[in-house]
Amino acid sequence: AQRVTQPEKLLSVFKGAPVELKCNYSYSGSPELFWYVQYSRQRLQLLLRHISRESIKGFTADLNKGETSFHLKKPFAQEEDSAMYYCALKFGNTGKLIFGQGTTLQVKP
């Protein structure tokens, strides 16, 4: 069955420290993976997708099919990165998304 796992509910780091938010998936087909972010009192929004291979706000994520992972990384965390982050898997031909449970990133000054 399709599944997305984010093992950490909370990740707390100091400003300037590196950040890695973990995401593992289970899917028998060709995966299409996303990271969504929800800042305080804002709606859920797309951060990045693996097919774009782009860096957004300094964040990158590489799809590792061997390890079935799509970890989100940033070399130097900023206080404004504090938010809830969700990893999501798109499957089927309808575009529906399966989300992980989410990780709260807290960047301390």
Instruction: Return d(Cα 74, Cα 85) in angstroms, integer.
Output: 13
- 53 secondary structure, DSSP code: T
Residue number with CB closer to another protein (36 or 107):
36
Residue with Cβ nearer another protein (54 or 79):
54
**What is the rounded CA–CA span in Å between residue 109 and residue 107?**
7
Least Å distance, CB 51 to another protein, is 6
Instruction: Note the residues at the interface with another protein (CB under 8 A).
Output: 4, 6, 9, 32, 43-46, 49, 51, 86, 88, 92-102
